[in-house]
Structure 1
């Protein structure tokens, strides 16, 4: 069962991380017009996150999948595992002079973590989110080599858009229930 509070909290979290990915997308951009568009997308994501955060606060008393026995524990295990692996992998990539691959590495872990979180929240849409982020991760290096687009730009923009779409999707599920 998927809970109303989980929909809006997911919208808040997805919007926030959309904002983060759009910020990361700007790391290696030179042209001002690209910064402008990514900045507008980041602003939309930030506003969306704030609105969803307020709605989450207002609905905090309602039921959540995390209130079920062991769900919150599994959520924390998934989160901390992802964080630790992300940090170790990023440090190793930097050490071996492969820092441009860090965004793809983080995207890969985030995609995998959505598969694990589906078992916590029982929300099949997380499988689609995982697949999309894993595809972005898998294509980042070949596209970078073929088209000379910075991985931070490619992965950041793609994941920013994907997460913002999923935030809007969860807004709609919240509002329609």
Structure 2
């Protein structure tokens, strides 16, 4: 989002668009009726950005990237994220608390943006992760009180922040 590497800008915009699509989709597990059209619209916008900037990434693959020489560390970070999310969900399932899975996965994803920002030399990614962590922490009392699937809160938090970040990334990429 706020990087000097055009290829990384395109890729992050595409990836955040795709992940917005995914999180808005997970939000549709148990949304209030009035949210459904907005969640669907967010999904459409996210996939649109993913496709447009996925093509831009592919056509600019030869451009420099902040990850040059760090791909193995990027792989380690992603593997750690997947393991943490998976193990957390396994623990939640065994404890009969599967309704918290979306929140847990969102927390892991948001936290992984902090070291990822260092790798990508992109303060914008750290800002997104920080905002997500704060918002996810803020909804815990509501989720405890309402006893609803955590996707109802975590999905929109992640979807909106990722979609807005992708939109900002798109504007920055197009404006040069």
* Shorter-chain TM-score tier: over 0.9
Q: Find the partner of 2:29 among 19, 27, 30.
A: 27
CA displacement, residues 99-130 of structure 1 (integer Å, 9 cap, x when unaligned): 11111111111111111111211111122111
- Aligned equivalents of 1:16, 1:116: Cα separation in 2: 20
Worse-superposed segment, 141-150 or 14-23: 141-150
Residues 107 and 136, structure 1, Cα contact 8 Å, conserved in 2: no
Partner of 1:12: 14
Worse-superposed segment, 90-99 or 136-145: 136-145
* Structure 1 unaligned blocks of 5 or more: none
- Aligned equivalents of 1:114, 1:27: Cα separation in 2: 25
Residues 104 and 140, structure 1, Cα contact 8 Å, conserved in 2: no
Partner of 2:153: 154
Partner of 2:64: 63
CA displacement, residues 87-110 of structure 1 (integer Å, 9 cap, x when unaligned): 010011011011111111111111
Partner of 1:106: 105
Partner of 2:86: 87
* Cα RMSD after superposing both structures: 1.6
| Number of positions where the alignment pairs a residue of Structure 1 with one of Structure 2 | 174
Q: Superposition pairs for residues 155-174 of structure 1, below 5 Å?
A: 155-174=154-173
Once superposed, which parts of structure 1, at least 4 consecutive aligned residues long, lie more than 3 Å away? Answer: 145-150
Partner of 1:175: 174
Residues 66 and 120, structure 1, Cα contact 8 Å, conserved in 2: yes
TM-score, structure 1 length as denominator?
Answer: 0.92
